[in-house]
């Protein structure tokens, strides 16, 4: 059996061997979709069905594209165009624009909010930053939904903040005018311009069709109407299209994602093969039980089953309720402290929440408990000053004769910058800088035998370009949106209360359903243990309706101490097992 077919289960093999014609892979959380995508491409190359340079693999983040390229290299495949929609479209614009327009392609807007502020000044408006950010989101949604400004006004007539819809329309027109005057495109314009070029210029379409014959699209549930249209133009009349996705993980509808493209794929392509991946290789069976209960009977939901031979797991997922947010944060910190004391690597622990505002209390509680944490979504690892300084110092040392071993040299260089054998007390800039330098040392310790200092610094530079970032030895804090595509052994999902999850402004059935999918994403990030919690708070929140839907058959209620809650013997409705009032009774 070839390397591309080794180690796959029956469903994965079916997908990997389906090399021609339309294919939709419905891949549940933790079922190995990236493995299937890369092994399918490698199998196509190995059998001669695909030429690497004629394959385009599209995903949604530069990090995911970099991971895909890395996995393909490990399978012996080079030359596949693994890119985001935007990167692929921008490359085509930059290639064809000089021929079509006799000039270089326009520049890219680096800050949409700042440009909107200038446009607002020009028409006598003075919106605050938050309003400008919402206005920018409105522009993005309009463009990926392929709507004109007038169509947008009809679809969203309520305005933004204190701006009436007429003012919003005026601001959007001023923004487009200013952007044109500066000869710039925003990210959505890149897709629109590429699609327009392919539609208007037959010779460009022919060139693209000749270059790319086989397409794979990951996270297809997140495709917008504009991205779907661009994909159709890339395809032309070809039929070799594989799409992979999970309708239960559609969490970007607010940004224009439309899961119907995934759910209706087989209807659009009469001869499409459908493969379902439902064997989960990530999570213990008890965690999968919680996820399945939450998504029971939802459209397109897959029923996840634990991989054969995987242990059921020693811990039943728990739910706990607290009087206030501070108490919840301190209880989570105490549980994490106990986990670390038992030998668990902090890098395998995450705290997930719905909104960024929830992170401050958690960071404070963890710091007070002596636990270092990293908030996901901040500056990239390789862009941080301490990391850049470390790489520059290491590169400088690489030109001098090395005394001693490679790792010892890296350690000495980093010590000169402030790395100590023991970390400073948790919290603060000094601990953050120590963690970053320690991460560089760990990368050196993990390097292949015989690696030179110059090779090591070259590898760091390559990882920076591909956004292949190391995990710091800290607990991760992240919004559920930011956690998508990631996994940890131990996950603490906080704020499972009405007004937080589902968020207060989710009022329609569709909006609440998206919040349910968001909770599902949070739950399925956990591999070994899952704890869920909520706090009543000063606003007298109620437990999330999702807790009642899950019920007490899969979640075990515990008190603030982690011991079984007294009320857990009762049914799911209103009990501690569903996060009910009894679990937060004040003394």
pLDDT (tens digit per residue) in 454-494: 889 888 888 787 666 676 788 999 999 999 989 999 999 99
Mean pLDDT, rounded, for 82-108: 92
Which residues does 260 contact at the CB level (< 8 Å), separation at least 6?
none
pLDDT (tens digit per residue) in 7-50: 899 999 999 999 999 999 999 999 999 999 999 999 999 999 99
pLDDT (tens digit per residue) in 390-427: 999 998 888 777 677 888 999 999 999 888 887 765 44
Please tell me whether the peptide bond between 502 and the residue prior to it is cis, using omega within 30 degrees of 0.
Answer: yes
Say what the pLDDT of residue 134 is: 87
Say what the pLDDT of residue 379 is: 62
Say what the pLDDT of residue 355 is: 85
> Does 61 count as an annotated binding residue?
no
Say what the pLDDT of residue 581 is: 32
Select the more confidently predicted residue: 198 or 364. Answer: 198
DSSP string, 214-233: EEEESSGGG--HHHHHHHHH
Say what the pLDDT of residue 57 is: 95
d(CA 291, CA 211): 42
- Which string of b and e fits 10-47 if b means at least 16 CB within 10 Å? ebbbbbbbbbeebbbbbbbbbbbbbbbbbbbbbbbbbe
> Does 29 count as an annotated binding residue?
yes
Is the pLDDT score of 180 beyond 80?
Answer: yes
Q: Are 311 and 288 in contact (CB under 8 A)?
A: no
Q: How many residues are given for the chain?
A: 587
> Does 448 count as an annotated binding residue?
no
| Alpha carbon of residue 573 to chain centroid | 33
> Does 33 count as an annotated binding residue?
yes
Report, in this order, helix, strand and coil percent for the chain, each rounded to 5: 50, 15, 35
d(CA 403, CA 541): 63
d(CA 192, CA 176): 14
pLDDT level of residue 314 (50, 70, 90 thresholds): low
Is the pLDDT score of 171 beyond 90?
Answer: yes
| Alpha carbon of residue 234 to chain centroid | 25
The sheet carrying 556-557 orders its strands as 373-375, 475-479, 349-353, 488-493, 526-535, 318-322, 556-557
Say what the pLDDT of residue 374 is: 84
Residue with token string 């997930």: 352
What is the percent of the chain with per-residue pLDDT over 70, rounded to a whole number?
A: 91
Question: Residue 22: which H helix or E strand, with range?
Answer: none
Select the more confidently predicted residue: 583 or 22. Answer: 22
> Does 27 count as an annotated binding residue?
yes
Question: Residue 524: which H helix or E strand, with range?
Answer: none
The dihedrals phi and psi of 297, each to the nearest 5 degrees, come to 70, 10
Rg (C-alpha) for the chain, rounded Å, is 25
d(CA 265, CA 24): 7
Dig out the tokens for 316 from the structure. Answer: 């039943």
H-type alpha helices, 47-186: 62-74, 85-101, 112-122, 129-144, 149-155, 165-181
pLDDT level of residue 242 (50, 70, 90 thresholds): very high
d(CA 529, CA 344): 12
Identify how many contiguous H helices and E strands the chain contains and give both numbers.
Answer: 23, 17
Say what the pLDDT of residue 14 is: 95
Mean pLDDT of the residues in the chain: 87
Say what the pLDDT of residue 158 is: 85
pLDDT (tens digit per residue) in 521-561: 999 999 999 999 999 987 789 999 999 889 777 888 776 55
pLDDT (tens digit per residue) in 334-383: 999 999 999 999 999 999 999 887 888 898 899 888 888 888 876 667 77
Residue 552 sits at the vertex; the CA angle it makes with 548 and 558, to the nearest 5 degrees, is 105
Dig out the tokens for 248 from the structure. Answer: 């239960």
Say what the pLDDT of residue 577 is: 39
207-210 LR contacts (CB < 8 Å, sep 24+):
207/96, 208/92, 208/234, 209/234, 209/236, 209/238
d(CA 564, CA 557): 6
d(CA 560, CA 322): 7
Say what the pLDDT of residue 382 is: 78
Mean pLDDT, rounded, for 129-157: 91
> Does 34 count as an annotated binding residue?
yes
CB atoms within 10 A of CB 379: 9
What 3-state DSSP class applies to 488? Answer: strand
Q: Are 51 and 292 in contact (CB under 8 A)?
A: no
Residue with token string 């392919």: 198
Is the pLDDT score of 154 beyond 90?
Answer: yes
pLDDT level of residue 300 (50, 70, 90 thresholds): confident
The dihedrals phi and psi of 537, each to the nearest 5 degrees, come to 70, 180
> Does 205 count as an annotated binding residue?
no
Distances (CA, A) of 579 to 235, 327, 519: 50, 15, 15
d(CA 481, CA 358): 14
Say what the pLDDT of residue 576 is: 38
Is the pLDDT score of 312 beyond 80?
Answer: no
> Does 30 count as an annotated binding residue?
yes
């Amino acid at each position: 059996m070839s390397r591309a077919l080794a180690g796959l289960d029956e469903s994965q093999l079916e997908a990997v061997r389906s090399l021609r014609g339309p294919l939709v892979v419905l891949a549940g959380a933790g079922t190995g979709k990236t493995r299937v995508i890369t092994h399918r491409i490698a199998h196509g190359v190995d059998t001669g069905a695909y030429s690497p340079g004629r394959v385009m693999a599209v995903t949604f983040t530069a990090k995911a594209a970099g991971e895909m390229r890395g996995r393909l290299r490990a399978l012996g495949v080079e030359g596949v165009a693994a890119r985001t929609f935007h990167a692929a479209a921008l490359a085509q614009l930059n290639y064809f624009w000089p021929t079509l327009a006799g000039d270089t392609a326009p520049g890219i807007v680096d800050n949409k909010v700042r440009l909107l502020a200038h446009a607002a000044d020009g028409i006598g408006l003075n919106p605050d930053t938050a309003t400008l950010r919402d206005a920018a989101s409105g522009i993005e949604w309009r463009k990926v939904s392929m709507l004109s400004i007038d169509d947008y006004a009809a679809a969203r007539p309520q305005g933004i903040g204190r701006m009436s819809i007429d003012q919003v329309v005026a601001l959007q027109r001023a923004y487009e005018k200013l952007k044109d005057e500066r000869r710039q495109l925003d990210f959505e314009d890149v897709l629109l311009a590429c699609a327009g070029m392919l539609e208007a210029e037959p010779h460009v379409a022919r060139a693209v069709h000749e270059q790319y014959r086989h397409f794979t699209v990951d996270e297809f549930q997140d495709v917008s109407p504009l991205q779907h249209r661009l994909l159709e133009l890339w395809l032309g009349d070809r039929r070799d299209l594989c799409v992979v996705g999970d309708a239960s993980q559609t969490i970007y509808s607010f940004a224009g994602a439309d899961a119907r493209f995934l759910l209706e794929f087989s209807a659009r392509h009469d001869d499409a093969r459908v493969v379902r991946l439902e064997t989960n290789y990530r999570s213990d069976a008890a965690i999968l039980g919680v996820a399945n209960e939450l998504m029971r009977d939802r459209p397109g939901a897959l029923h996840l089953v634990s991989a054969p031979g995987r242990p059921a797991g020693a811990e039943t997922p728990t739910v706990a309720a607290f009087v206030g947010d501070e108490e919840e944060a301190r209880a989570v910190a105490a549980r994490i402290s106990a986990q670390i004391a038992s030998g668990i690597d902090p890098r395998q622990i995450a705290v997930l929440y719905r909104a960024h505002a929830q992170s401050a209390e958690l960071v404070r509680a963890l710091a007070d408990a002596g636990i270092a944490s990293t908030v996901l979504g901040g500056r990239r690892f390789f862009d941080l000053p301490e990391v850049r300084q470390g790489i520059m110092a290491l590169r400088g040392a690489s030109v001098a004769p090395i005394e001693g071993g490679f790792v010892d040299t890296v350690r000495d260089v980093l010590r000169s910058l402030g790395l100590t054998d023991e970390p400073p007390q948790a919290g603060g800039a000094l601990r953050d800088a120590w963690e970053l330098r320690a991460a560089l040392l760990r990368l050196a310790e993990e390097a292949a035998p015989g690696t030179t200092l110059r090779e090591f610094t070259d590898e760091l530079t390559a990882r920076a370009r591909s956004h292949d970032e190391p995990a710091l030895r800290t607990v991760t804090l992240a919004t559920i949106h930011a956690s998508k595509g990631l996994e940890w052994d131990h996950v603490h999902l906080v704020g499972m209360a009405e007004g937080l999850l589902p968020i207060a402004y989710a009022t329609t059935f569709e909006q609440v359903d998206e919040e349910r999918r968001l909770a599902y994403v949070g739950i399925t990030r956990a591999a070994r243990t899952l704890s869920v919690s909520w706090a009543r708070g000063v606003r007298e929140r109620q437990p999330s309706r999702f807790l009642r839907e899950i019920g007490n058959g899969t979640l075990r209620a515990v008190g603030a101490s982690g011991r079984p809650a007294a009320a857990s013997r009762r049914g799911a409705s209103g009990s501690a097992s569903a996060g009910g009032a009894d679990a937060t009774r004040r003394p």
